[in-house]
């Protein structure tokens, strides 16, 4: 009897302590939430009014998190607090997390990332995933449903921006119970809602949803929408829980091939070609050859680009195992006419897709396949340092000068080699960024001998200096014009960009400088623009014995990661030296 009473007493004490800790956690989270929504926490993140800051992790909460010690940074503290709130599984904490995730400042700063950008990224990291507690999943789903109107097939959302933020998180839960609900949202004629729902649906990894996505592909017109749905379709084609049926794959391919023939813009076609390559079928071969033939006629500049021809050629080589240049469709047609009877697809191992004609010899080993190309070069002060593995530089006649080859000198040599190999019917331009952006020409120019000589003369005088306004340089390159077109949604007709940098974007020089925010902004813009971005990162060699703070080294790692992501997100290539 005494032992039972003792056990009961211990249980009550532990339960009471746990309840007290839960109350303490909710109070701390509530205090942080109020400070965040009032703008006070944002000021703390910006280093303002820190005398008013009181830690949100009390000593009791720190003890609960295994005595980790007082965090050094505000965001480190917040990550622990948000993680504890997530793990609590309590509805009131879940609702506070959802409110914080959706919060945006009324007047964001003109330059740099707003505090809400940092907090939202931290919340994504803490919240998303299969292991998210049911209470938190329910809170996100309830918040989405709160803005919905109508019924299946006619849903609309009162706050499109809110729906776009909520749906990726809901998709990350990989909860099969959400599938039917999300399929109903994909049928919405409110395009923003349908697209975000399609992307969430694709995250579930179920091949059953493929026809739903294919129907959406069949009714979209703009290149951004087509690109987003095509990306979701490619994700579902690879699904295994369960895998899509042969019937559904053929149904999807039929729609994609129809759209390929109907669409007139090269950006839309760039989004659709990968479907014809991944859903492997003989039916794709004559359609793709027909597109190369149409491109060769040269009548429709808006309908084709060098990168589109290259993508079609790559798909054809993958499907057939045969090689012919993208610019010689007659060879493809002869091959098809001779082999179409009883034709069987090539086995999946890839053929060498770099054998085709490129527009240039390449930039740092990356082939140039575009027909409207922009090179964006970092000319900040650090580019005057010796290149990694540098030998002595040489004069134009090939004689060694005795000086070490700098990063800028090597960049000039690679640029001249790439531009020198451009075909005469190509167009190009060069943009330089240091503390400011300088455009060699206002618009793209023809790759003729006169323009190539003019560039060589200018490069001979170019010197390194200043900071690293990387975003401004990239923004200028992506908006480079060929000629004015009122009908085009995108000011630029550039189809390929080469970006070279060696360092960390400088704070304050550009509109934004956080590497993660730059990647996010460019990815969002490029969904519809379909510009292939190749990136080259030149690492910095620090002198022996030089002491670098861990934070500084981390910034270089973030910059390199950003360059890698810019290439990956656009289908480009990344090189590091």
Instruction: Give the model confidence (pLDDT) of 392-437 as tens digits.
Output: 555 555 555 545 689 999 999 999 999 999 998 899 999 999 999 9
Q: What is the pLDDT of residue 286?
A: 98
- Please give, one letter per residue, the 3-state secondary structure of 445-483: EECCHHHHHHHHHHHCCCCCCCCCCHHHHHHHHHCCCCC
Residue 393 CA to residue 241 CA, distance in Å, equals: 57
Average pLDDT rounded to a whole number, residues 214-243: 95
Q: What is the pLDDT of residue 330?
A: 97
Average pLDDT, the chain: 89
Percent of the chain residues topping a pLDDT of 90: 75
> Do 335 and 459 form a contact (C-beta atoms < 8 A)?
no
What backbone phi and psi angles, to 5 degrees, belong to 528?
-95, -30
Tokens of 475: 């923004």
- Please give, one letter per residue, the 3-state secondary structure of 398-425: CCEEEEECEHHHHHHHHHHHHHHCCCCC
The band of 479, judged by pLDDT with boundaries at 50, 70 and 90, is confident
Average pLDDT rounded to a whole number, residues 14-25: 66
Which is more confidently placed, 535 or 511? 535
Q: What is the pLDDT of residue 510?
A: 86
> Do 202 and 183 form a contact (C-beta atoms < 8 A)?
no
Q: What is the pLDDT of residue 398?
A: 53
Q: What is the pLDDT of residue 15?
A: 44
Q: What is the pLDDT of residue 199?
A: 98
Average pLDDT rounded to a whole number, residues 490-500: 84
176-180, 386-390, 488-492, 541-545: which is most confident: 176-180
Tokens of 79: 């990550």
Local structure of residue 204 (DSSP, 8 states): T
> Do 114 and 105 form a contact (C-beta atoms < 8 A)?
yes
Q: What is the pLDDT of residue 487?
A: 46
Run of H or E including 570: helix 550-570
For residue 64, pLDDT over 80 is answered with no
Give CATH 3.40.50.410 domain extents, the chain: 360-540+551-576
Strand partners for 465: none
Q: What is the pLDDT of residue 306?
A: 93
For residue 55, pLDDT over 60 is answered with yes
Which is more confidently placed, 248 or 389? 248
The band of 73, judged by pLDDT with boundaries at 50, 70 and 90, is confident
Strand partners for 446: 427
Run of H or E including 533: strand 532-537
Q: What is the pLDDT of residue 357?
A: 45
Lowest mean pLDDT, pick from 62-66, 356-360, 378-382, 433-437: 356-360
Task: Sort strands 156-157 and 372-378 into parallel, antiparallel or unpaired.
Answer: unpaired
Average pLDDT rounded to a whole number, residues 40-45: 94
> Do 446 and 455 form a contact (C-beta atoms < 8 A)?
no
The band of 27, judged by pLDDT with boundaries at 50, 70 and 90, is very high
> Do 288 and 315 form a contact (C-beta atoms < 8 A)?
yes
For residue 12, pLDDT over 50 is answered with no
Average pLDDT rounded to a whole number, residues 171-182: 97
505 contact partners, CB below 8 Å, separation of at least 6: 468, 469, 470, 471, 513, 514, 515, 518, 559
Average pLDDT rounded to a whole number, residues 355-359: 46
For residue 68, pLDDT over 50 is answered with no
Average pLDDT rounded to a whole number, residues 476-481: 82
Helix residue spans in 297-406 (DSSP H):
306-320, 329-339
Lowest mean pLDDT, pick from 110-124, 258-272, 330-344, 399-413: 399-413
Query: pLDDT tens across 512-547, in order?
Result: 999 999 999 999 999 889 999 999 999 987 655 555
For residue 190, pLDDT over 70 is answered with yes
Average pLDDT rounded to a whole number, residues 465-483: 87
Q: What is the pLDDT of residue 1?
A: 58
> Do 138 and 94 form a contact (C-beta atoms < 8 A)?
yes
**Placement of tokens 């080469």 in the chain:** 498
289 contact partners, CB below 8 Å, separation of at least 6: 316, 329, 332, 333, 336
Query: pLDDT tens across 373-395, in order?
Result: 999 999 999 999 998 765 555 55
Q: What is the pLDDT of residue 111?
A: 86
For residue 484, pLDDT over 80 is answered with no
Q: CATH assignment of 360-540+551-576?
A: 3.40.50.410
Interior/surface letters 296-335, b for 16+ CB within 10 angstroms, e for the rest: eeeeeeebbbbbbbbbbbbbbbbbbeebbebbebeebbeb
Percent of the chain residues topping a pLDDT of 70: 85
For residue 348, pLDDT over 70 is answered with yes
Run of H or E including 372: strand 372-378
Average pLDDT rounded to a whole number, residues 110-138: 95
């Amino acid at each position: 009897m005494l032992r039972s009473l003792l056990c009961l007493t211990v249980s009550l004490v532990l339960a009471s302590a746990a309840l007290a800790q839960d109350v303490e956690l909710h109070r701390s989270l509530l205090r942080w939430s109020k400070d965040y929504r009032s703008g006070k926490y944002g000021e703390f993140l910006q280093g303002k009014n820190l005398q008013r800051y009181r830690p949100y992790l009390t000593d009791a909460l720190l003890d609960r998190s295994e005595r980790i010690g007082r965090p050094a940074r505000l965001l480190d503290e917040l990550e622990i607090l948000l993680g504890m709130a997530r793990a609590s599984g309590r509805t009131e904490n879940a609702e506070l997390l959802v409110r914080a995730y959706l919060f945006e400042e009324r007047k964001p700063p003109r330059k740099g990332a707003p505090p809400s950008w940092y907090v939202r990224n931290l919340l994504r990291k803490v919240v998303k995933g299969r292991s998210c507690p049911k209470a938190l999943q329910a809170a996100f789903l309830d918040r989405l449903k709160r803005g919905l109107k109508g019924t299946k097939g006619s849903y609309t959302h009162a706050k499109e921006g809110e729906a776009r933020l909520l749906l990726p998180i809901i998709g990350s839960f990989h909860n099969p119970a959400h599938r039917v609900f999300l399929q109903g949202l994909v049928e919405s004629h409110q395009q923003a809602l349908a697209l975000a729902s399609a992307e969430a649906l694709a995250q579930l990894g179920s091949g059953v949803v493929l026809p739903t996505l294919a129907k959406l592909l069949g009714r979209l017109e703009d290149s951004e929408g087509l690109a987003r749905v095509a990306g979701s379709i490619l994700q579902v084609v690879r699904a295994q829980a369960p895998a899509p049926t042969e019937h559904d794959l053929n149904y999807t391919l039929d729609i994609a091939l129809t759209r390929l023939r109907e669409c007139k813009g090269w950006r839309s076609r760039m989004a659709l070609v990968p479907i014809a390559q991944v859903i492997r079928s003989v039916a794709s071969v004559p359609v793709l050859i027909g597109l190369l033939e149409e491109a060769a006629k040269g009548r429709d500049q808006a309908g084709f680009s060098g990168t589109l021809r290259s993508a079609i050629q790559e798909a054809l080589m993958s499907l057939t195992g045969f090689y012919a240049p993208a610019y010689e469709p007659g060879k493809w047609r002869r091959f098809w006419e001779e082999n179409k009877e009883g034709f069987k697809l090539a086995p999946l191992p890839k053929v060498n897709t770099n054998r085709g004609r490129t527009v240039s010899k390449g930039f740092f080993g990356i082939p140039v396949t575009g027909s409207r190309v922009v090179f964006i070069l970092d000319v900040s002060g650090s580019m005057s340092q010796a290149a990694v593995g540098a030998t002595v530089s040489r004069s134009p006649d090939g004689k060694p000068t005795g000086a070490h080859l700098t990063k800028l000198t090597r960049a000039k040599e690679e640029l001249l080699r790439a531009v020198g190999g451009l075909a005469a019917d190509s167009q190009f331009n060069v943009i330089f960024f240091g503390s400011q952006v300088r455009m060699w020409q206002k618009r793209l120019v023809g790759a003729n001998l006169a323009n190539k000589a003019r560039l060589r003369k200018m490069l001979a005088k170019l010197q390194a200096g200043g900071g690293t306004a990387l975003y401004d340089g990239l923004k200028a390159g992506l908006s480079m014009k060929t000629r004015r077109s009122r009908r085009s949604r995108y000011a630029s007709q550039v189809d390929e960009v080469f970006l070279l940098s060696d360092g960390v974007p400088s704070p304050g020089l550009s509109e934004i400088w956080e590497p993660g925010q730059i990647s996010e902004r460019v990815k969002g813009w490029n969904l519809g623009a379909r510009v292939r971005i190749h990136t080259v990162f030149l690492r910095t060699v620090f002198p022996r014995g030089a002491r670098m703070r861990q934070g500084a080294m981390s910034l270089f790692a973030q910059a390199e990661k950003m360059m890698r992501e810019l290439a990956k997100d656009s289908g480009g290539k990344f090189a590091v030296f």
